[in-house]
Structure formats: C-alpha cells, structure tokens
Amino acid sequence: MQPPRSGLSPLSDDAFKLSRWSASETLVVLDDAGEAQPALATGWEREGSLAWRFEIRDGVTFHNGEPLTAESVVNSLQHAIDAVPVPRILDGVDLTVETEGRAVRITTGEPDPLLPQRLSSPQLAIFDTAAYTENGVDPVGTGTGPFEIVAVDGVSGATLDRYDGYWGEPADASGIDVTFVPDGTARTAALRTGEADVVEAIPAGQAASVDERLLTEVPMPRTNTLYLNTESGPFADPAVRAAAREAVDRAAIVESVYEGRADEATGLLGPALPYAAELRDDADCRKLLDARAEPAQVDGVKITLGTFTDRAELPEVAVMLEQQLEDVGFDVQQDVREYQYIEADALDGAFDAFILSRATVLDSGDPVAYLASDFTCDGGFSISQLCAADVDEAIRVASETEAGKDRQHAIMLAEASVLGTDAAIPLLHERVIQGESSRVHNAARDPRERALITAGTHLDAE
C-alpha cells in the first residue's frame, strides 16, 4: 500500500514490509494466540528475574552466504538498542546483549515477562553485519528469509528471488515482484484486471467493484473508540458518561459507514485476539461491568466532539455519533481536523469526547502497553484523562503477570476495569480487506500485518 519511508531500514516501520515479503526473520515469532515460538532462536530460558538465554539456530546463512552466529545476532540487536529513534518495541526498555558461546544472553533493567514476545517485532530482525553501514541499514542481500531482496526501485517497487540456501522449507514461488501503489482505486483495479496477484488494503468503498471471491476480510487489532474526558466538562460525571454509552448504536455505524465490513465492539479488544471474547464473560469481568453508573437524563448538555480526517471513515462516524448523542439530549459541536493539527489538543483534554482509531496490540503482540498508555494515571496517551487507582492496579497486575493464560485473564480484568469507568466507549473493530487473485494459494492473512507472502505462497502455474 505505502512506499518505503526509510529506505527499507529494518529499524523503521519499513521492517514490516521486509517481514511481509519473508525477506527478514526474527529470533522469535508469535502464534495466533500471541505466544512466542522458535524462529532463529531454537529455544530460550529465563535465568533469574532479569536475564534470558536464547539458543541460536545452527545451519542458517544470510543471503550473502555468511553464517548466522551469536555475534551477528548481538550486532543486530545492539544496533536496534542504539538506534535514534529507538524501535518502539524498545521504547523505555533497558536491554544489554552479549554472546555466550552459541547463545545470546539478554539482560533487562526491570523484570520483563514479555521479552520473548518483544523479540518477535520485525524491527528486531537479524541481518548480517554487512547490512550496517554509515548510511543506514541495507537489507538487500543480508537477511535470512526464504526470499532475498535483489533490487529496490526507490518508492516504486522491489524485486525478490527465492533464496535456495534457506534453512527451512524452500519457497514454492520463484520470487516476488512488489509495486507500491498508495492509491486505493488503483490497487483495486490491479486486482480486478489481474495485474496483481495479491493486493494490500482494498478500500471498503471499492470492494463492490471486485468479485467477492477475490476478497478476504482480516480482523485487525484496531478499535475505533469514543474517548470521554473524565477530568473536566460534562463527562467528569460518570452518569453522564453512561448516558453517552447508552446512546451509541454500533450496528448503525458499522452498516452505514463501513458497509458491514467491521465488527461491532463489545470491548476494547476485538476478534484479532482470539481469547478476548471468551474471557470477557468471566464472572469477575462481568462484576466490574455491572458496577457501572446508571445513565443520567440529559437535556441540552453541550459537548465538543473531535476527530481527524486522515482516516476517511472517522468524519462520517462523527456525523452519526452526533445524531445519536443529540437524540438523547446532548448538544454536540464537532471539531474535525488533520491528525497532526488535532493530536495535541486531544491529549491536553481540549475535547469532551474524541473518536480515535487505535491499534490495541503493539509490536509485542500484547495489549498491556496500549492499556497503560491510554488509561493509567501516568499514561502518555490519555485522551480520556483517566486516573483511577483500581484501573492502575489492574493494569499493573496484567503487566507483571507471566505470558500465558494467567496474563490473558489479567488483561481482560484490566479491560473490564477500564470499561467500568465508561472513560472509553468502544465502537467497532476494523478489518482490512485483502485481495487475492483466483490462482493464489497460501497467502498469509495476518491481523498483525507481519506476514503476507510466505514460503508456502504460490500460484497455480508454479
């Protein structure tokens, strides 16, 4: 969808392109449940509260033929640690890395039960030492994946060939030809005419022009949420927040604005996290939700509603929410701008309500960082201006719980604690529409947008 912004540097968001082309690999990968699985590391163990030891896979070569070693792993990780800006998965995280024979020892400044999951971030992919130059990181010919980048044409496209020396199962396809097409109409036309075999992000408004059999809707870990200002203004009153919660008609928004191509939200975390729906019905979670305030009767209560234009659907959502809120007695004044011009005001609490499309699962595959950022007293992205001791405690417990079922349960208790305040009213969970021609097999459909073309992806003719 988008051309590279940083010359395909893996230390930028361009890392996700390298991952989606299977040109780069990390020490760890995540399964569908967000659990860490071996990749370039064959296993790991925790040594005390701060140190971890990762065994490095034998028999792996970089695309230039050089062997994968513990030294090359440490070199890649150290460059990520030293990068400016630091990859967001390492923001606020203190790491030291060193070799230990064929293994790598990683030590954290604070106990970090999610370290293996962090190492799955595409921004922590491992490259040969030759990739790291005075001019940045060059992934051409220096990754370890089943496909090797052999040419990059600026912001126009890239060419990848099958890497025959790959350590795992060799790629079924002989290569990948990538074209960057920011215009959604043009991407849709490329799928419709057969010019492209796989297309990222077909716009919802264009989907009707394509054979439905060529489209797959992938649930995203992204929630559109109405944040309410709990610190000042009318929504400082929990009963007024409850009135707004009861006014929202999610089904109407999904059907009208998203043409049915989104999921109504019953919580902050959506179907991209398979455990969320099941654990949300836990008795402890229900108890927190049942304790919410009763809705107040509102009559002419003036509120300001903000959102931004960068996501085309949000101004339409604002129009529908204005109508729904006014139907129960609110008097709504909208303020809609480009995101770069409205973010500071939103974070300063300038609005009574704000509509945001928010990624709920960050690079670790875990939502705790999002919950902490948006809903704790010290959160750096607290549009709701929420500061509640019980919410902080629930999120703290989740952050310190070891990965697995117990952490998932703690996460859902933290979600219920936030929802119990009505500081945030989840509206819908977005889906991305992926296009695949009828001759494509085994393209990945990844909610985290880390995988697309894999070793198993191929065409009928191949």
Nearest residue to 8 (alpha-carbon basis) of 140, 180, 124: 140
How much is the pLDDT for 462? 56
Question: Do the Cβ atoms of 288 and 419 come closer than 8 Å?
Answer: yes
Cα–chain-centroid distance for residue 115?
17
- Give the CATH number of the domain where residue 69 resides: 3.40.190.10
- Give the CATH number of the domain where residue 247 resides: 3.10.105.10
- Assess if residue 367 is contained within a domain: yes
Whether residues 112 and 224 fall in one domain: no
How much is the pLDDT for 165? 96
- Assess if residue 456 is contained within a domain: no
For residue 84, what are the domain limits?
A: 15-138
Whether residues 246 and 112 fall in one domain: no
DSSP class of 99: E
CA 206 – CA 259 distance, rounded (Å): 11
- Assess if residue 196 is contained within a domain: no
pLDDT tens for residues 108-129? 998 888 899 999 999 999 999 9
Whether residues 295 and 403 fall in one domain: yes
Asked which of 119, 138, 157 is the last residue of a domain, the reply is 138
Asked which of 120, 138, 156 is the last residue of a domain, the reply is 138
Whether residues 33 and 123 fall in one domain: yes
Residues of the chain below pLDDT 70? 362, 462
Give every CB contact of residue 64 below 8 A, 6+ residues apart in sequence. Answer: 128, 130, 141, 142
Whether residues 300 and 408 fall in one domain: yes
Whether residues 252 and 376 fall in one domain: yes
Tokens of 191: 């799928």
Tally of domains within the chain: 2
DSSP notation for 196-259: -SEES---GGGGGGS-GGGEEEEEEEEEEEEEE-SSSSGGGSHHHHHHHHHH--HHHHHHHHST
Whether residues 226 and 325 fall in one domain: yes
- Assess if residue 328 is contained within a domain: yes
Give every CB contact of residue 238 below 8 A, 6+ residues apart in sequence. Answer: 292, 293, 421, 422
- pTM flag (> 0.95): no
Phi, psi angles (nearest 5°) of residue 321: -65, -40
